Amino acid sequence: MPAVKGDGMRGLAVFISDIRNCKSREAEIKRINKELANIRSKFKGDKTLDGYQKKKYVCKLLFIFLLGHDIDFGHMEAVNLLSSNKYTEKQIGYLFISVLVSASSDLMKLVVQSIKNDIVSRNPVHVCLALQCIANIGSRDMAEAFNRDIPKLLVSGDTIDSVKQSAALCLLRLLRTAPDLIQLGEWASRVIHLLNDQHMGVVTAAASLIEALVKRSPEEYKGCVSLAVSRLSRIVTSSYTDLQDYTYYFVPAPWLSVKLLRLLQNYPPPEDPAVRTRLTECLETILNKAQEPPKSKKVQHSNAKNAVLFEAINLIIHMDSDPNLLVRACNQLGQFLSHRETNLRYLALESMCLLATSEFSHEAVKKHQETVINALKTERDVSVRQRAVDLLYAMCDRTNAEDIVAEMLTYLETADYSIREEMVLKVAILAEKYAVDYTWYVDTILNLIRLAGDYVSEEVWYRVIQIVINRDDVQGYAAKTVFEALQAPACHENMVKVGGYILGEFGNLIAGDHRSSPIVQFQLLHSKYHLCIPSTRGLLLSTYVKFINLFPEIKAQIQEILRNDNNIRNPDVEIQQRAIEYLQLTSVTSTDVLATVLEEMPPFPERESSILAKLKKKKPGAAEDPDAAGGKSSPPTVASKPMPEISVNASYQPQGASGGSADLLGLSSSAPPAAAPASNDTGCLVDVFDMLGTGASPTSNGLTAAADENYKSATTPDLEAGPDKIHEFVCRNNGVIFENDLLQIGIKSEYKQNLGRVGMFYGNKTSVPFSNFTAEVSLPGELSSQLMAQAKPVDSQVEAGAQKQQLVNIECVTDFTVPPVLVINFLYNGAQQHMTVKMPVMVNKFLEPAEMDAATFFQRWKNLSAPAQECQKIFKAKPPMDGEQTKSKLLCFGLSILEDVDPNPENFVSAGVLHTRNQQIGVLLRLEPNSQAQMYRLTIRASKDAISTTLCELLESQF
Amino acid sequence: MQFMLLFSRQGKLRLQKWYTAQPDKLKKKITRELVTTILARKPKMCSFLEWKDMKIVYKRYASLYFCCAIEHDDNELLTLEIIHRYVELLDKYFGSVCELDIIFNFEKAYFMLDELLLGGEVQETSKKNVLKAIAAQDLLQEETDDTKSLLEELGLTG
């Protein structure tokens, strides 16, 4: 038995020895049960136990628990120990409680009471014990009980250093548990100034707390930036002897350095030039030190030094503003890529992934392509190879895509099973994104299926079909290639699916060659038929019926297959139904009808790649669209030609929808049904005008009711509606947007997701008719690519006192900042009139409210912490503050009102989704009114950069 | 940091410290799976791995594995050095520490960890200061023990 340190509990040591001497698991359990019975009887017995005995038994229970057994008694005795005046008994009591008592236990009230006594003790060791217990349990009750005492301890001048350290971290823990309960108020600045404290341990602990506070309210703690920079500067320029015991293996204060560097990653580069220069100097010094010879051969030295270096590189990447630093960082990481330490290679690959997304360093990263590919081939640890795959994905662009994709395909053959699926997704995305030549894309995906068919998810093969259908330049090639691929004796099922689908659509393009004549194609496909699962067979049956349309000469053979009992009486209802229906269809209908029903599939609407969505789901964060941050090239569009009006393939579509190949393109959930818009349009159109009570024909007289309402207020005689005017429509969809002596323009609009239907009303206020009347929507500058607007023509004659209507269909392609402009021309009394009016179509019109609970809200809020994702504005209330009005404004703005999220009932918390054609953007909002100061603080975070600013500006104008 | 585990090469858990509230069942599940994962790794492999949605940093010292789950923005290399500092502290306190010391003095191992890390964050990195705090605790124990025996001698306790 080894020596027992401190005050030994002999009984405990004997018990532990006994347990260790047990020869079997059964013997151990027997011994434990015996001990449990003994302790239970001691606790229950009438003889009062003294503190030492209680402590010993509680400790034994703890040991039994740590062995993995459940403990269901002794809690009360442990709580009793807390009030002992002997330190060791108290300490064991606290230990038991922090390990074994759950925060929800009924005993917590007693525990909190004991802590209350200890935290005001004059003995600092007792205070520390109490603080440690709070930090270990960190329950909401504790936050409630101590949210005043702990901040006080932290900033008080009387508190000794070790207590301050514990208080800082204790507060941090409570802040994480119950952010709403921890408010530092006027102490914020004193907390920030702890960064200047003499005691390095205090600064280290405080830096952690400050980082958490900063994450919550960056603006309030902005003062920490300059303090952190100067503290960091003092550390990196000090010699290792200066900091005594805070130097770790010749590295001055690595923990504090890393914390400060991390703290600074919560802010953009410092605005103050002096601070900024000083920070740049720090970062340069850290990079320089990396080149110096090591002061020790110990791994601890290099780890600590490199920990600081990596964190500095993270900050450099975060600031993303100094090309010189970025390139130096990249070169440094390049050295690590071939370092003998596996850990460093791993971290270098990981950091380089981030560097690859910066436009300044993207090229520098690309220089290391060979090394990274080599890592993929030679690293012995799969987690390192995984990092190499990530980096290749991140560094890929149009210039190196072919090489990188080829290397990834080669590696795929031998890759670990654990990363194959992800690799397949990555290859598929890169191939699509950077394809210049779509034959290369088709080859790549077919190779993927050949090499790793089992890991090719549905999204991948759906996508290749979508692309082939949308690009007529690659269809012939695709048909030829799948035909060749299907020649292999053993084909992956996914290959059969892709092959079947493509030949069914485009088999005619290769039918001229006798080697791939219709009957050969058919026989080839049918040779795989019996090996396939029912859903694939269903797909092949659809291919066959399409063949009947494409190649009438093989109709008889195909009908024979359909008629075969294996199909027409197949126990699988899907196969049976298809066989029967296809047989019937091809028997009774004329060729014309058949040709219409089985027409080539129409192009798919453009959409975000479902593969990318899948990768994002698999690895949130890690799967960033390589373009998103680098801004190197715009993603290739799937359909480069303008989308033709989609004609519904009436019977092909619904039969597909009954199952099996219904999911073939997996579109129904993520995109509007291809055929819907045309018919829906009219439905809504009627609604808009029905509300006006006028039907679809122009009203003969006067203005709409909605327009009337604003008739009086709209007195501006200017031709151009002022900027304020348009702001009236941020939260409103209907009303008069413009009026002068001649003309009144009213609007009535409806929005759904990324689509809008806007009815414009032009009222002639004069007694003379307007002729040559035109109204066109103009999308100036960038807007032309951000918004699609299609205005129906309007009657060229507007009678005196009459009103004409015009329907404008709008689609939000991506987010935008300026509204479209309406250009109006007409002749009045022979004089040409020209006016331009801003249309009140703002990005918030495409917002839809989202509901979520508090936990989800805070989680998402936390995730959107990058500076560009957030916008905060503090401004004076213009109209008087009114909670109900604020609510309705937020609702009309397009957001939800989330109740019970913010503990302060005065505050508003909202969420919404901004719908654009290309993506959906999450938007979160917090609005904090301060009725005393008559000010608002508005914070918006959005999952896409810059949107929060646009929305903030729009909303600010409303208060 | 989310938690720290110490376990032996045989997979026996020697110390566990959780910095986020988790149900016991989940703790047991995580421990079991993580221990198996790490024991299966070869010696020269990387000390960091992505496991579930956690970042794991581990290192083996003699027969004991020290394993931490950290946040995504935590520094991996420095986590290795937290482990090392903890080992140094144990070593200094017990005098070339071995697994048995930690088994028999598990409460001390906990107290020492509480001085080094609090709520999952580094509290005190100075070896001297931590050892001083622990020595002060031991002193308090001895004092109270002394008083006890003195009182006993005087026949003042029942």
Q: Supply the DSSP string of A458-494, one letter for each residue.
A: HHHHHHHHHHHHH-TTSHHHHHHHHHHHHTSSS--HH
Tell whether A84 is covered by a domain. Answer: yes
Chain centre distance of CA A119: 42
Chain A residues whose beta carbon lies within 8 Å of the beta carbon of residue B120: 173
Taking chain A (959 residues) in runs of 10, the rounded mean pLDDT of each run is 59 89 90 92 82 89 89 88 88 90 80 91 89 91 90 89 94 92 87 93 95 92 94 90 87 95 95 94 94 92 95 93 91 92 94 88 90 90 90 92 92 85 90 88 91 86 89 91 91 92 93 91 93 92 93 92 90 92 90 86 76 71 45 37 33 34 35 35 33 34 36 37 69 86 88 89 88 89 87 86 88 89 88 87 90 86 84 85 85 88 86 88 90 87 87 87
Enumerate residues 6+ apart whose C-beta is below 8 A from A809.
A681, A755, A756, A757, A758, A789, A790
Tell whether A858 is covered by a domain. Answer: yes
pLDDT above 90: residue B153: no
Tell whether A277 is covered by a domain. Answer: yes
Please count the other Cβ atoms lying within 10 Å of the Cβ belonging to residue A833.
17
Chain A residues whose beta carbon lies within 8 Å of the beta carbon of residue B98: 2
Mean pLDDT over B12-25 rounds to: 89
Q: Which CATH architecture does the domain made up of B3-154 adopt?
A: 2-Layer Sandwich (3.30)
Chain A residues whose beta carbon lies within 8 Å of the beta carbon of residue B106: 62-63, 66
Which of A100, A131, A148 is the C-terminal boundary of a domain? A100
A123 and A216 belong to one structural domain: yes
Q: Is B131 on the interface with A (CB under 8 A)?
A: no
A794 and A776 belong to one structural domain: yes
Please count the other Cβ atoms lying within 10 Å of the Cβ belonging to residue A792.
12
Put simply, the chain A residues between 151 and 210 with a CB less than 8 A from any chain B CB are: 162, 165-166, 169-170, 172-173, 177, 200-201, 204-205, 208
Which of A100, A125, A145 is the C-terminal boundary of a domain? A100
Chain B residues whose beta carbon lies within 8 Å of the beta carbon of residue A381: 42, 44-46
Query: Can you state the angle between helices A475-486 and A438-452, rounded to 10 degrees?
Result: 20
Chain A residues whose beta carbon lies within 8 Å of the beta carbon of residue B126: 200-201, 245-246
Enumerate residues 6+ apart whose C-beta is below 8 A from A1.
A13, A17, B104
What CA–CA distance (Å, rounded) separates A726 from A738?
A: 9
What CA–CA distance (Å, rounded) separates A333 from A331?
A: 5
Tell if the CB–CB gap between B137 and A2 is shorter than 8 Å: no
What CA–CA distance (Å, rounded) separates A900 from A897?
A: 10
What CA–CA distance (Å, rounded) separates A457 from A494?
A: 9
Q: Is A384 on the interface with B (CB under 8 A)?
A: yes
Tell if the CB–CB gap between B98 and A310 is shorter than 8 Å: no
Complex confidence, ipTM: 0.91
Q: Is B32 on the interface with A (CB under 8 A)?
A: no
Q: Number of CB pairs < 8 Å for A and B?
A: 176
What confidence tens digit (pLDDT) does each residue in A171-196 have? Answer: 999 999 998 888 888 888 899 999 99
N-terminal to C-terminal alpha carbon distance within chain A: 74
A90 and A193 belong to one structural domain: no
A868 and A836 belong to one structural domain: no
Residue A614 pLDDT:
76
For chain B, domain boundaries: 3-154
Residue A2 pLDDT:
53
What CA–CA distance (Å, rounded) separates A117 from A111?
A: 10
Tell if the CB–CB gap between A380 and B123 is shorter than 8 Å: no
SS (H, E, C) A810-854: EEECCCCCCCCEEEEEEEECCEEEEEEEECCCCHHHHEEECCCCH
Tell whether A540 is covered by a domain. Answer: no
Tell if the CB–CB gap between B125 and A205 is shorter than 8 Å: no
Chain B residues whose beta carbon lies within 8 Å of the beta carbon of residue A346: 46, 48
Tell if the CB–CB gap between B16 and A91 is shorter than 8 Å: no
Tell whether A537 is covered by a domain. Answer: no
DSSP states of A68-113: T----S-HHHHHHHHT-SSHHHHHHHHHHHHHH--TT-TTHHHHHH
What CA–CA distance (Å, rounded) separates A246 from A729?
A: 60
Q: Is A92 on the interface with B (CB under 8 A)?
A: yes
Tell whether A614 is covered by a domain. Answer: no
Q: Is B91 on the interface with A (CB under 8 A)?
A: no
Contact A447/A412 with Cβ under 8 angstroms? no
Tell if the CB–CB gap between B81 and A254 is shorter than 8 Å: yes
Tell whether A215 is covered by a domain. Answer: yes
Q: Is A375 on the interface with B (CB under 8 A)?
A: no
What CA–CA distance (Å, rounded) separates B122 from B75?
A: 12
Contact A123/A158 with Cβ under 8 angstroms? no
Chain A residues whose beta carbon lies within 8 Å of the beta carbon of residue B73: 262, 265
What CA–CA distance (Å, rounded) separates B44 from A884?
A: 64
Residue A59 pLDDT:
92
Of A132, A201, A343, the CB nearest to B46: A343
Q: Are strands B117-118 and B64-70 parallel, antiparallel or unpaired?
A: unpaired
Tell if the CB–CB gap between A383 and B49 is shorter than 8 Å: yes
Nearest CA in chain B to A383: B49
Binding residues of A: 10-11, 42, 52, 56-60
Chain A residues whose beta carbon lies within 8 Å of the beta carbon of residue B103: 16, 20
Tell if the CB–CB gap between A303 and B46 is shorter than 8 Å: no
Sign of CA dihedral A516, A520, A522, A523: negative
Domain membership of residue A894 as a residue range: 843-956
Chain A residues whose beta carbon lies within 8 Å of the beta carbon of residue B122: 204-205, 208, 255
A875 and A831 belong to one structural domain: no
Q: Is B99 on the interface with A (CB under 8 A)?
A: no
Which of A222, A253, A273 is the C-terminal boundary of a domain? A222
Domain count of chain A? 6
Tell if the CB–CB gap between B118 and A13 is shorter than 8 Å: no
Put simply, the chain B residues between 52 and 71 with a CB less than 8 A from any chain A CB are: none
Tell if the CB–CB gap between B137 and A303 is shorter than 8 Å: no
What confidence tens digit (pLDDT) does each residue in A614-649 have? Answer: 777 766 544 444 444 333 333 333 333 333 333 333
Nearest CA in chain B to A2: B101
B105 CB burial (10 A radius; 0-12, 13-18, 19+): buried
What CA–CA distance (Å, rounded) separates A641 from A342?
A: 49
Q: A858: helix, coil or strand?
A: helix
